[in-house]
Amino acid sequence: MKKIKNNKKKTVLVLFLIVVGLLTLWGYRYYNFLHLHPKERELGKGAFYAVQPVAHFSSGQTACLNVEIEGKEFIAELDLGFSGDVGVNPEFVEQIVEKSFIKMSSAWGFRGNKHEERIFNIPKLKIGETVFPYPILREENLYLWRESRLIEKNMGPAQYIGAIGWRLFKNMTLFLDLGRSKLVFCDSVETFEMKQHSLQSFIKAPLLLDRDILEFETETPTGTLRCFLDSGSTGNLIHFANPEEFSFRELIYNEQNHVKFPSFTIEGKNIGPITFYPLPLKFPFHVDAVLGMNFLLENQVFIDFKNKQLYIRPYLKSKKKKEMSQKGDP
């Protein structure tokens, strides 16, 4: 009889400890919620619309944003070729107190180099007034970061702290207006259009996420290209087997080697000529082409992650572009 009573006491104690643990976890999350700035709390629920200016462009043309983790502010590149939430260099990882190790993970550069990186979970991340709860943090390898810089000079590791990947926005929409140095975070297409930003003049194309990267199909005079959208790449790249074994410098800097298409068609609509740097792209899977900052500085791009749709519109030229900006077009 005493044994049964002892077992009951142990069971009650275990259940009590579980309840206390759950309440503590809930209280921690509620505390974090209450201590958000009022504007931040509005973005956490329901419809939201937030305009985020680009802090600056790097010497390699990549867009950089003001980011904050645990009160520590830093500049991070917007890298939509990164299939993650946020990546930071090893030195910054060590400064983060509230982080939980998840696992080791493999990462590849477009030259085929593979590196192992640590993955963590952190409570929150801020970009401007927008709070992203419980993002996944990756300890990035600086060598892989340098691989995607094609033209810039004098870029040392000390100039790089982190990157924001596409998965941070996977439950919302993202408008890239990088030609005007801004982004828009939004909960839905409907909210975006309620702000009088019509998408009717944009070309709409299916967003392909089956390989965990942002892709869509285009037509060129030589056939179909499945393009990988990557704001972390300086330029537009096209796969080239390089049978003559040209050096990397020859492929990038010698214009005679560049691949120039007089037309570039998306869903039957031609957006004009485009130029690619030919490189032997060595991802774990075949990639036809990469559209980098050269493309994103010439086109507005609206990404609807939830409905897997991509909207693209070339910027109007010269006077027309100025008039469009004055009218408040997106």
* Cβ pair 240, 247 in contact under 8 A: no
- What is the pLDDT of the chain when averaged over all its residues? 80
Residue 16 φ/ψ region, left for φ over 0, alpha for ψ in the -120 to 50 degree band, beta for the rest: alpha
| Predicted confidence (pLDDT) per residue in 216-261, tens digit | 999 999 999 999 999 988 899 999 887 678 887 888 888 998 999 9
Q: Residue 154: what pLDDT?
A: 41
The CB density around residue 35, as the number of other CB atoms within 10 Å, is 9
pLDDT band at 282 (very low <50, low <70, confident <90, very high): confident
Over range 16-41, report the average pLDDT: 39
What are the residue boundaries of the structural domains of the chain, listed by start?
49-190, 199-326
* Residues of the chain above pLDDT 90, percent: 55
Over range 166-186, report the average pLDDT: 96
Cα 57 to Cα 52, 151, 182, 313, distances in angstroms: 14, 14, 11, 21
| 49-190 and 199-326 in the same fold | yes
Least confident of 39-53, 110-124, 284-298: 39-53
Q: Which CATH number fits domain 49-190: 2.60.40.420, 1.10.1740.10, 2.40.70.10, 3.55.10.10?
A: 2.40.70.10
Distance CA(54)–CA(66), nearest Å, equals: 8
With H, G, I as helix, E, B as strand and everything else as coil, classify residue 56.
strand
More confident residue, 30 or 268: 268
Q: Which amino acid is at 147?
A: E
Distance CA(176)–CA(104), nearest Å, equals: 31
199-326: what fold?
A: Cathepsin D, subunit A; domain 1 (2.40.70)
The residue among 38, 37, 40 whose CA lies nearest residue 185 is: 40
Cα 77 to Cα 12, 30, 61, distances in angstroms: 51, 31, 10
State the DSSP H helix or E strand holding residue 90, giving kind and residue range, or none if neither. helix 90-95
Q: Is the pLDDT of residue 158 over 50?
A: no
